[in-house]
Structures are given as C-alpha cells and as structure tokens.
Amino acid sequence: MDHVMNTYSRQGVSIARGKGCLVWDETGRQYLDMVSGIAVCNLGHAHSAVVQALKDQAEKLFHCSNLYGIPQQETLGRMIGENSFPSRVFFCNSGAEANEAAIKLARRFCNARGKRGSFIITCDGSFHGRTLATMAATGQTKFRKGYDPIPAGFLTVPYGDIPALKAAVTDEVGAVMLEPIQGEGGVNIPPQGYLKQVRELCDDLGLLLVLDEVQTGMARTGKMFAYLHEGITPDIMTLAKALGNGFPVGAAVARPEVAEAFTPGSHASTFGGNPLAMACAIATVSTMVKDDIPGQAARRGAYLKESLEGLKGTHPALREVRGRGLMVGADFESDISFFPQAGIEHGILLNVIQGRILRLVPPLVISTQEIDQAVETIHTILREKGL
C-alpha cells in the first residue's frame, strides 16, 4: 500500500465483503471470521437490521451539527440507560474518543468539587486508546515509546490487586479507571469480587469509578455490559466498537450528577452522534435486546471454551483457556505469532496478542458448527507446528 501510512502489520489478504460470521477476499475466497473487526461486528457482518437502518437514514440525512437537536441521540441515550443505569451520554466516534471524554469529564468533575485532586489510577496491562491522554492512561509502556513528553495525571497499579490500589490513593487521586476484563492486555480476568471491592473503595474514599467497556460492552461477555456480572454500577462507562456493529460510534455514559460537569463549550465532537451513526447503533441495541444476544454469547462462549479445553490433552503448549462469553483467550507457553498467517492459509481469521495469546472474539451470532470448524482448524495448525 504505497499511499497509506505504515502503521499496521497487515496480513496478506484484503477483505472485500462479509455476511454473518464469514468474509470473502478480493479473489472470492471465503474465511471464517474469529476476529469480527476486533470485537466490533457483534451481530455479524452486514446484519439486515443495521443495513436497513443505514439505508433508510442515508436517504434522509447524513450529518447535522450538534448545534441543533438530533432526535436519534435522545433515543439511543434512553436505550443505553434502560439497559445499564440512569445516565446521560456524550456521543463521539471511537473508543479512544470515548475514553478521552471520560478522562476530561472525571477531571472536570473533580476540579469542580475541589475535594480531591484529579489524578486517575489505571492498571498495568490496560489499554484505553491511542490519543496522547488515553495512551498515558494505558498501562503498557510499549504504546508510549517515542511519544515523549507523555501527559501527566495517571498512576498505574497491578490489575486485580486491591491492596495495591488502596496504597496508591492519595489526596491527588480523584478516580479509578479500568477494564472489567483486559482485552488487549491478554484477556485478563480479575479475581471474583474485584470490581465490587473497587466500587466499595471508591465509595468509601469519594472517588469516581470509570469502566472502559469499549471491548467488553455490547453483550460480548454474556451480559449487555461486563460490570453487570458483579452487580455494581460505575460512575462513568465508555462504549464503542460493537455499539454500531461496525459503523464508527462511541459513547461516554455518566450518572446525571457527574454528567453535569460538562457544560456547553466544555467538550464537543463534530461528527459525534451524527444521524447515520445513531441509526446503526439504535438498530444494533434493539436487535441485541430483542434477540437476547447476551444470552447467546454466554452459551456459545461456554461451548467455545469447553471445546478449546479439549485441545489441552493433545497440545501441551496450550497452557490456559480463559474468558467470559465470547471474549476468549487461549494462552500458550511459547510464541504463537504464526497463527494469523497460518489461519489465512486454512481459511480462518485469527488474532494473536502479547505474542502468545490467541484472542477469539467472533461475532456473537456464531453457530456451534462454526465453533467446531474454528477449533478443528486451530487443532490442525497446532499439529502442523508440532505444538
């Protein structure tokens, strides 16, 4: 690609179209998609409800400035609140923008109160985005290489470690920001009860709890939002990825009393909440609720994990299978960076993170037969590689 900046290690295939859990390249070759745009196309590719919503809206209005009312924003905001917690929403275009908005909202809220500082505690292994602020919040130094000076205002602690979190809290700290399950960090699941303990700590000390649900949200883990597994409520939640089932849309969702910290002119997004994005997101959320996509993700995820566990006896290099719903990581003893290319050769799209973890985040509409195909292909690749 001579005219595109070299910011991705691209696989040797160009995707031309998709339907459900399948995609086809420019030559017409078919692949089973176990990546879904990195946990984006949760309803599968070209879902009829989302496609129809996009077509209908495209014939009416693409864009309208946020200087005027956009009725679909109110509809989607209400739907998000009905399926999460009473809230107000700021709409944007991506997960990084949603997290940037959350960081700004948390700081503005803390500064307005004046009771605590506005530093934010995040976790080692986290990933919150590629803007300077979200990169500073990310607990992986590799993403910050070459970008000094890095914005200040963030402290990192080990993920899942309540004593370390408590010890890090000073008068300068006003919020805790974390992922219910770390995606890019390795599909890392914290100890049971961790989120509840973090919520209690924040309540005791007057801290805001910000949950990054960009990857875990929208039914991925078997519930509409991952925090629901522990029965807590965040002060701010961020969404993107699957919210529009592939159409770019992000959201920072906050309790009303926290949301009031944003006032006219304090934050904005030209394209955020545009009618096309709202139409796709409304169709996505409606379908997920109507078809009980969270329940389907829970059932299919359990089947996928069980099937992968069955490979352990044959492939000792497979150290652990972990995940929740259809957010699954297969952790190996050694480097498995060969998997994406080997997968393409076998007609399947696969993703490796941290060099040794096979991250499986297929569309939530995947069938058991397609899961069987994926696991059998993984077995074949491992056998060919002598693992």
- The catalytic residues are 127, 212, 241
Cα 371 to Cα 373: distance, rounded to the nearest angstrom: 5
Mention every residue, 6+ apart, whose C-beta is less than 8 A from residue 49.
Answer: 43, 283, 284, 286, 287
Nearest alpha-carbon partner for 123 in 175, 169, 176, 171? 176
Give the whole-angstrom CA distance, residue 372 versus residue 357: 20
Q: d(Cα 176, Cα 106) in Å, to the nearest integer?
A: 10
DSSP label of 139: B
CB 121 within 8 A of CB 303: no
Q: Which residues pair with 349 in a beta bridge?
A: 33
Tokens of 107: 């700081």
CB atoms within 10 A of CB 364: 29
Query: β-strand 357-360 against 327-332: which pairing, if any?
Result: antiparallel
Task: Give the DSSP per-residue string, 53-82.
Answer: HHHHHHTT-S---TTS--HHHHHHHHHHHH
Q: How many CB atoms lie within 10 A of CB 368?
A: 12
Tokens of 387: 């693992």
Q: What secondary structure letter does DSSP report for 23?
A: E
Contact call for residues 177 and 237 (beta carbons, < 8 A):
no
Contact criterion met (CB below 8 Å) for 371 and 309: no
Long-range contacts (CB closer than 8 Å, 24 or more residues apart) made by 347-351: 347/29, 347/30, 347/31, 347/32, 347/377, 348/31, 348/32, 348/33, 348/34, 348/373, 348/374, 348/377, 349/23, 349/31, 349/32, 349/33, 349/34, 349/35, 350/34, 350/35, 350/378, 351/34, 351/35, 351/38
